[in-house]
Structure 1
Amino acid sequence: MSPVSTDAETHEAAGARRPKPITSGRTSLPEHVTVKVFVIAPLVAIAAAVPFAWGWGLSWIDIAIGAAFFVISGLGVTAGYHRLFTHGSYKAARPLRIAMAIAGSMSAQGQVTTWVADHRRHHAFSDRAGDPHSPWRYGTSPAALAKGFWHAHMGWLFDREVTNVERFAPDLAGDRDIRTVDRLFPVWVLASFLLPALLGGLITWSVWGGVTAFFWAGLVRIGLLHHVTWSVNSICHMIGERPFSSRDKAANFWPLAIFSFGESWHNLHHADPTCARHGVLRGQLDISARLIWIFEKLGWATKVRWPSATRLTRLAQ
């Protein structure tokens, strides 16, 4: 059974009418180095976390600040970058739209437009040639899957090819507000690291409180959020349950449900990408969908694409 049409497919169809290449060149060397820094530095921080905490550096204040920024930046990615900007699962009032773009930018996962272009390309070619991060890229043998897991999880971030924004995200490229948010991307990332340090220093009234908050609520928090997001790309395309029909290998992986704010209910998402709720079965907690529901009740979100029983029945295997 074919999945419901997606925004990614709409843009891909437009690309078919006006052929444009999938990629638009390669990143410059400075940009490539910057990506490596933002990928590797939080990873190193996670590796250093245990000895750091064991010796002299973790408090409940660090945990509280880190949790708060994890939620803000994480929901900026899931309810903002993903469900709002990539798939149009709902319409947001302009202030909310800008706020979600900024919150997502604070995850240090890239500018709104490039993130959306990559993800729409992923849906257009999911688990096929052209998918920027499929774990099945190299085959199905154990060695190929190990290599594919690395590629899907984070290896693809070191590729220098750039997804063609004109093909996959022309709507965002022409949005003045989003262009402004993208232009200020370094500011949002810097704030994401420095605000926790500032709060830690002010709350403890000490320089050391700022240092530990920078480490835990800045570096470690960003690193953990990165790996949760990347796990949806890798794990959720390899193992898990597939109760709905999709044209790829997207699966549900329940252990990630809370930390991914509902993104790991990945099978329904690929079966019905524009749906605002991914966790549609009994017991499937979807925090991002609940946030969108709150936005709708407050009048900040409209035209929310909630799942219908008829559509779910049609998508069920």
Structure 2
Amino acid sequence: MHFSDKIYVAGHRGMVGSAIIRKLTAAGYTNLVTRSSRELDLRDQQAVADFFETEQPDYVFLAAAKVGGIVANNTWRADFLYDNLMIEANIIHQAYVANVKKLLFLGSSCIYPKMAPQPLKEEYLLSGYLEQTNEPYAIAKIAGIKLCEAYRDQHGCNFISAMPTNLYGYNDNYDLQSSHVLPALIRKFHEAKERNEPQVVIWGTGSPLREFMHADDLADASIFLMKNYNDKATINVGVGEDISIIQLAEMIREMVGFEGRIVLDATRPDGTPRKILDVSKLHRLGWRHKISLREGLRQVYADFVEKRANEMQESIHH
């Protein structure tokens, strides 16, 4: 990838896409192409075809997706399947039509079977049943991986797929109805502290183990893979360490400075008992994450507080 090559980042407003844009810009790449969803509906086949014909990008980072937590995934099942299928099918096909040099498709660790052994190795894909709550999203992501493989097999396209672990970072979603666990906990503890509440209730038993990676680390890994990885097989991107939900909650409580107690609501679902990626393949290539969970949490909490303050200012002015 040369500094003047035209690079299209699909989903540049999202948490991952915006992190990729920041990393590329900081590294000196000057020819970046972006379109907001208002400017270009990636579900619209003709619109995507016209965009690729006009722009003719050299490289494509496919970070656009409809994403959400357990509640969102389970509620809008048709949207999650349809939107994600359309987005990836349109972009991957047009990348082939436009002779894009290389495309990186970003999947998700939820593609792996619910009962697969831990840590999750790349070859466990399609070896068992998926987690029911986010099956539509997982099916769409698996289709994206298989599309990349098929275009490689049939047309010789250099399309690669990376599977990131649970992510957090700047531009995260803090909506309690549709967010993931880490931003939801940050918001819950922050609001409980503001309201002097005696306790914060957390879903489930607190025992599930999860791996969390800063989106800036994923962006760094994505650029590394774009430069160094050319295999058909998917590659996991994670930190290779996990933490229980209760430990995460304690870490966030301490960071926020909430004095109350944590109450576990065991009537709520836990989800998979453990989810951690085997990242030995990525480590062998020579890439490791740089941002520790504690440091990453400090960064995003500061960002969250600043955004809240700005929103308060805006609402006062209106």
What TM-score do you get using the length of structure 1 for normalisation? 0.24
Q: Which has the higher strand share?
A: 2
Q: Which has the higher helix share?
A: 1
